[in-house]
Chains A and B, each alone.
Chain A
């Protein structure tokens, strides 16, 4: 082992942290190297003086102060825990009551309004199939608008995929049936 290798291992050597083989190798080098022996002695002097450095102690009554602080902190946490527990209970009760009131009076009332209106919500949310569509064109309250689809649009759409069809001669989309609004206004117009 050379000086560099010994120098790197001097502290581990002093602290007994080397394997027996490496320790022996370090000692072999030290026996023949005055510089490394000098360095070892200086390291040992530093360690020895460091061991003897006066210690810095805590002030008197430290343990009692720490114990008092720990107990105070613990009691504060306990108190806060109780407060937050009560607050949590009160919040949960409030939310439950509010939810119950909403369920009893809120949505039920709205549902009634909707079912009583002219629009059937079931049809809006779940439109009926084609078989269920009623032809109301004969209804005297209705005005029928006939909207012919231009031929060029029909020709274009025929070229598209079925899933993309916007207008088709086989569909009834070219007839729009609007309910009459009873305002004394009569509209009968052909586009």
Chain B
């Protein structure tokens, strides 16, 4: 079991990177603990296979360790880490697509997602329906939605991670939410959620 008690409670991500660049292994371990669940939650929802996701998260940290000297404080550490993880995830999806094409599996419906099954039992209400709907989103909309609504990154950082303008991020997030809304409309859980929910932005009623 990982010891979740931080040895660097006061250190910012950039402080940790400086220590890692100086060869501090404990700081590297602290960085792993700080980001492992966030990254797993991100990569896991993109590649939708728990085992592969964990491999990608591990590879992300190994790249950080091996290329620690290439980090410059110009960007947030989290931006750098998310960018590496996203690139590795996209690469995995491309490989998977090629494998499916070569094995003619693209003729079949894509198998249901292992990740959904492992977390589905924990959910009730609209959550399981939403989870399934997120998995079916087109890739770029899905990435933007996950980074915004699950990882809760600001638009500017999402733009840096995805390497697109902020305007494109705004448009992708809006499009993703619109698609999800259309998919969830028939479910009574959405109506229930609406009755439960308090409008967060303005009170119009």
Contacts from A to B (Cβ < 8 Å): 7-15, 17, 27, 30-31, 37, 39-67, 69-71, 73-74, 77
Interface SS of B by simple majority:
helix
Contacts of A14 on B, CB cut-off 8 Å? 200-201
Closest-CB distance, A183 to chain B (whole angstroms): 74
The verdict on A11 contacting B37 (CB below 8 Å), with A56-B45, A60-B1 known, is no
Q: Is B170 an interface residue (CB 8 A)?
A: yes
Q: Is the interface of A mostly helix, strand, loop or mixed?
A: helix
With A14-B201, A58-B40 already in contact, 15 other A-B pairs whose C-beta atoms are closer than 8 Å: A10-B177, A15-B155, A46-B184, A49-B127, A55-B37, A56-B44, A59-B54, A62-B57, A64-B29, A66-B61, A67-B25, A70-B65, A70-B66, A74-B66, A77-B66
Report A73 CB to chain B, min CB distance, Å: 6
Please name the residue on chain A nearest to B40 by beta carbon. Answer: A58
What's the least CB distance linking A54 to chain B, in Å? 4
Partner of B65, one of A7, A48, A61, A74: A74
Q: B9-17, B72-80, B95-103, B117-125: which one contacts chain A?
A: B117-125
B36 touches A17 (CB 8 A): no
Asked whether A17 and B66 contact (CB < 8 A) given A62-B32, A66-B32, A71-B25, the answer is no
Partner of A47, one of B33, B40, B177, B190: B177
